[in-house]
Each structure stands twice: as C-alpha cells, then as structure tokens.
Structure 1
Amino acid sequence: MSAGGEHLKDEGTRGQVVLAGGIAGLVSRFCVAPLDVVKIRLQLQIHSLSDPLSHRDVKGPVYKGTISTMRSIVREEGITGLWKGNIPAELMYIAYGAIQFTAYRTTTQALSSLSPRLPQPVESFISGATAGGIATTTAYPLDLLRTRFAAQGTEKVYTSLLSSVREINRHEGARGFFRGCTAAVAQIVPYMGLFFAGYESLRPVLTSVDHMPFGSGDAVAGVVASVFAKTGVFPLDLVRKRLQVQGPTRERYVHRNIPEYKGVVRTIGLILRTQGVRGLYRGLMVSLVKAAPASAVTMWSYERALKLLMEAGVDV
C-alpha cells in the first residue's frame, strides 16, 4: 500500500474504485440510518427547547436530545420509523460513494501530473472539494427524497419512492428535485476539502500507531477529519434540510410549522432573526455523533473492499 496521499489515487482500477466506493456508501448508510433520521427531525424543529411557552402552538412532536427523539419516534411510528427514507438514502450513498471516490482518484491523478507538484494538503483539498461537489450535485434528487421521507410522521405524504418522484415532478417540476442544492454544494465543497486534507494528513501518522481504536488508523483518521469538517459547515447543512421540505407539502410533515424559506442567504437571515445563532446549529450534536462512525465505517469499508476486490481480481 502506498503512503500518504498516494493510497487513494494509485491503488486499484477505476472499476474497483467504483465498486469499493459504492460498497462503502451502502454499509455506512445502513449503520447510521437511525441517527440520520433523528438529525433531520431536529434540524426541522424551529421552536425553542429552552422556552416551554414556545411549544404551546406547536402542531407535532417536541424533540429534546438524541435518545429521547429516538424513543419518541419508536413510540409513535414504530421501530421502522428510524429507517424512514432508507431506500432513497441507500441509493444516494451508493451513487455518492462511487462518484466521490472515482472523481477523487481522477482529480488527484490529474494534479499529480502538474509540474511543479502542489503541496500534498492543497492537492487533497482540491481533489476532495471537486469530488464532493460533483457527487453531491449528481445524487442530489435522492438526497431530497431521503429528507422528505425522513420528515414524514404518521401521515404519509408520499406512499412510495415512485409516487414521490411522480408527485414532485407533477407539482414542482424538475427544479423541485434540486431545492436547496446551492446550500448543499456550498456545504460539501469545503467539507470534503477539509475532510480529505485532514484524512490524508492524519492517516500516515495514525496507521503507524499500534492498538488504535475502531480497528485501524484509517477509521480513526476518518473520525477526526469528519468531526473537524462537519462542525465548520453545519449551518449550511441545516439550511439545506429546511429548503428541501419547501413546496406544496411543507405543512404535512411531522413538524407542521416549518416556515417558508427562499434562498440560502435569506434562509440564514430568517433563522438568525427568529431563532438566533443557536438556531443554525440544531442537531449538531447528533450530526457529530453520526459523522464519526459514518466516516469511520466509510473509510474502513472502502479500504477493505478495495483490497478484497484487488486480491480477487474483481473489476467492472
């Protein structure tokens, strides 16, 4: 295995990278699905948790914390409620993982041909940001569907994945599938740049340390890099979720009082005016809790899947 920034760009064929990336996304999504549903519910909640008076006119549940939110969802919607939106999410993670790692590999190979070479952290940042932007835009409709299904309570806004596609296309047009895409790209570009720059910098150091938690330095590097990057761009993730549930079905989700938001900048301004700075960080804790194992599982699964595919000679 190559050292440092070379390991993702020089190992395996393009087909093996696509397969390994897809497998990593699939495994990661299944493991963290309940935390993702909790995060989305908390991000869409606009009333103050510290002011009981703000709960009086709320139509829908009042969530407080990760564990209590999980319990509330299980109690009201059953255990399967924690996996709402899992089908479009699984499809999204497979597509995203495959596209992300392929774009990262292609970009780093192109950058490595430059003379003189860019510094390794800069090279990793550019590659990560490019890969994240391409993968996010391509898989975005599935991301929007995941959010809308996860936001559903006991009332079924959409009965199936196919019906949701038909309904959105009929009532909102093609643009309806890309609500909040600007916030998503604005979030993912710096996030993936910071993530890969941090991951590639930490991995060589951590893989040389014996008895690392989570089984390997790959996983630990993924955890640390993800937590660092996620905290920096979280407000844009929240804005993306708020924009994704706009449209004719806005008042039919589990939170009935989601305001009407238009545009990234105006949404941030409205949240600051009505909910303060803390309003931009709703669900941050569960997001970090989710990000750590998700990134650890993703990177661990990718490295192991790629190794197995190479050893078995499997390619597409």
Structure 2
Amino acid sequence: MAGKSKNHIYAGFTSGLVSAVVLQPFDLLKTRVQQSNGKSMVQVIKSLNTPLDLWRGTLPSALRMSVGSAMYFTCLNTVREAVAGGRRLTVGDRSTSSLPKLTNTENLISGGLVRGTVGLLVMPITVIKVRYESSTYHYKSIVDAATSIYKHNGMRGFFYGWAATFARDAPYAGLYMLFYEQLKVALPSILFSDITTSSHSEKYYSSWSSAMINSVAAATSAGIATTCTNPFDTVKTRMQLAPKEYPNFLTSVKTIIQHEGIQALFRGLALRICRKACQAGISWCIYEDLVKRFERMNLPGPQL
C-alpha cells in the first residue's frame, strides 16, 4: 500500500505542477475579471505591461496545484479503494484506467468529500495566490503578500472565503467524478468505431487511446461541473480580495446581486471553463498514464 501511495503522490504532484504552469494565464485573467471593478477580459489584457505578466502568481499556483493534486489524488484513491473493496474489472472488460470502479453515488460522494477537505488544507496558499494575481494589491513578492495578510488580518486572513471554497470544491469534484467515470465508459465506442470489436486480451486500451478518452472525458466533465459551481467561485474571489466589503458568504451573494445583478455571479465563466477543462484534460491524463505505467512496470514509484 505504501508503494502504491507513492505512485499516486508522484503522479498527482507532476500532473498538478504541469497544468498549473501551462494554464496560469487563464487563472490570472479569471481572477481579475471577477474583481468588482467590472473590467472585461479585453480591458484586463490591455492593462498588462508585458505578456509575462500573465504568469504573475505562478509560484503559489504551482505550489497549490502540485501539493494539492498530490494530496487529492492520493486521498481520493485511498477512499475509492476502501469503498470499492474487492471489486475489480470483470473478464472481458477493458479500461483506460487502473483506478477503482465505483457506483455513481460513490463517485459523487467520494470526489466531493476529498476535494472539499483538501481545498481547506491548501486554503492559505489559495488566498495568497488570489491576492497576488489581482490588480487590487501590489505586493512585491509572495513573502510580502503573506506578511501583509498576516499583519492586517491575522491567521484568519488566510482562510477568508473558506465556506465559499468548500461550497465550490465539493460539488465540483463530486459532479466531475460522476460524469468523468461515466464518460470513460461511453466514449470508447463514440471516438473509436472499431475499438469495441478489437481484442480484449489486453487489460487496458493503448496509451494513445487511453489518453484521448481520458482527456475528452476530463475536459467535458470539467466544463459541466464548472458551469454549475461558478457562482461559488466568484463569491470566493470577492471575499478573499475584499473581506471587509464581503465578510461572509450570504452577505457577499446579496451584495453582488443587488449591485451588479445575478449575471455577475457568472463573471469569468468562459475563462474558468477554458482553464478547468484544459487543466482536467492535462492533469488527469498525465496522472492516469503515470499510475498505469508504474503498475505495468511493477515499480513502487519514485522514492520520496
């Protein structure tokens, strides 16, 4: 079990790190569009000094995503293994994944609980990231951001927006896992017309087929889950950027709707869908491929 855990830690860390660095521009633009100044994406882009400004906040993003993904994937697999018990693929089944197979309800609950919990654990990094990415604050460095937050708000400043974060992350992950696992079963016959008539002597589909199926399933599932949970993301961002104006979840929702209309809760949705869909496609594809490779090689994973 220890060896398997290392596999998931390494695969999760790598997938999170790669997706964070590649997709940081989407995250920065999304944060600034969700600010209360009402700027459009075009206006935000024009306000940047250089293209490199799109990667402002990459360090906390990479730290949050790599560590968070390692924790999430490892804990998720542990929970899914415990829930699945001894269930395995039946004879003749083929899969794109070596992960445990659960029912729809089990996928929904396990994904939501694990993601919500991990989101709270990495909350301090998230707050620093959001503050550093925004144009509201002008921190000189990550250390300056952390020091300023602690000086003005104390330790609780690192947990502003925790309720909105949990309300966003838990439903998002639950819905994501539900659709992701269903799509991985449905997509093979849709994407590859001859895949169901090929030999079933192999336990898994080829690496290329698996990557295609997992990426499409991940991106589609992320798009659906993101749309459903975007209002919580907008509220979370406002609470972390202006805690005095948006002191708690319910007050924040009321303030946003009163002053900007209900459509403001979906501000930044297009950017978030692009980022989440790409992030899911990249991270889950890398994660599942690495886990399968370790299993095929019968290796305990890199030494930590």
Q: Does 1:283 align with 2:268?
A: yes
Conserved in 2, the CA contact under 8 Å of 1:103 and 1:130?
no
The corresponding residue for 2:10 is 19
Q: Does 1:133 align with 2:133?
A: no
Conserved in 2, the CA contact under 8 Å of 1:23 and 1:305?
no
The corresponding residue for 2:198 is none
Alpha-carbon distance between aligned partners in 2 of 1:119 and 1:36, rounded to the nearest angstrom: 32
Conserved in 2, the CA contact under 8 Å of 1:39 and 1:287?
yes
Alpha-carbon distance between aligned partners in 2 of 1:204 and 1:213, rounded to the nearest angstrom: 13
Q: Does 1:226 align with 2:226?
A: no
Counterparts of 1:95-244 in structure 2 under 5 Å? 95-113=67-85, 120-152=103-135, 157-208=138-189, 209-210=191-192, 216-244=212-240
The corresponding residue for 1:44 is 35
Specify whether residues 69 and 38 from structure 1 end up closer, same or farther in structure 2 by C-alpha distance, changes over 3 A only.
Answer: farther
Alpha-carbon distance between aligned partners in 2 of 1:152 and 1:272, rounded to the nearest angstrom: 23
**Aligned-pair RMSD on alpha carbons?**
2.5
Q: Secondary structure at the match of 1:187?
A: helix
Alpha-carbon distance between aligned partners in 2 of 1:261 and 1:71, rounded to the nearest angstrom: 26
The runs of 4+ residues in structure 1 deviating greater than 6 Å are 211-214
Q: Secondary structure at the match of 1:13?
A: helix
Specify whether residues 213 and 274 from structure 1 end up closer, same or farther in structure 2 by C-alpha distance, changes over 3 A only.
Answer: farther
Aligned length: 272
Read off the aligned partner of 1:149 and give its amino acid letter: Y
- Gaps of at least 5 residues in structure 1 are 1-9, 48-62, 248-258
Alpha-carbon distance between aligned partners in 1 of 2:245 and 2:254, rounded to the nearest angstrom: 13
Specify whether residues 78 and 224 from structure 1 end up closer, same or farther in structure 2 by C-alpha distance, changes over 3 A only.
Answer: same
Specify whether residues 283 and 72 from structure 1 end up closer, same or farther in structure 2 by C-alpha distance, changes over 3 A only.
Answer: same
Read off the aligned partner of 1:44 and give its amino acid letter: Q
Read off the aligned partner of 1:88 and give its amino acid letter: P
List per-residue Cα deviations over 1:119-138 (Å, max 9, x = no partner): 71111111101110121011
List per-residue Cα deviations over 1:87-137 (Å, max 9, x = no partner): 00100001110111111111112222399xx97111111110111012101
Conserved in 1, the CA contact under 8 Å of 2:80 and 2:102?
no
Give the TM-score normalised by structure 1.
0.79
Alpha-carbon distance between aligned partners in 2 of 1:114 and 1:264, rounded to the nearest angstrom: 42
Alpha-carbon distance between aligned partners in 1 of 2:260 and 2:210, rounded to the nearest angstrom: 38
- Gaps of at least 5 residues in structure 2 are 88-100, 194-207
Q: Secondary structure at the match of 2:245?
A: coil
Of 162-171 and 225-234, the range deviating more from structure 2: 162-171
Read off the aligned partner of 1:144 and give its amino acid letter: V
The alpha-carbon deviation at position 160 of structure 1 amounts to 1.5
Specify whether residues 114 and 272 from structure 1 end up closer, same or farther in structure 2 by C-alpha distance, changes over 3 A only.
Answer: farther
Read off the aligned partner of 2:115 and give its amino acid letter: G
Specify whether residues 214 and 45 from structure 1 end up closer, same or farther in structure 2 by C-alpha distance, changes over 3 A only.
Answer: farther
Give the TM-score normalised by structure 2.
0.82
Q: Does 1:294 align with 2:279?
A: yes
Conserved in 2, the CA contact under 8 Å of 1:239 and 1:264?
yes
List per-residue Cα deviations over 1:240-261 (Å, max 9, x = no partner): 00011125xxxxxxxxxxx811
Read off the aligned partner of 1:89 and give its amino acid letter: S
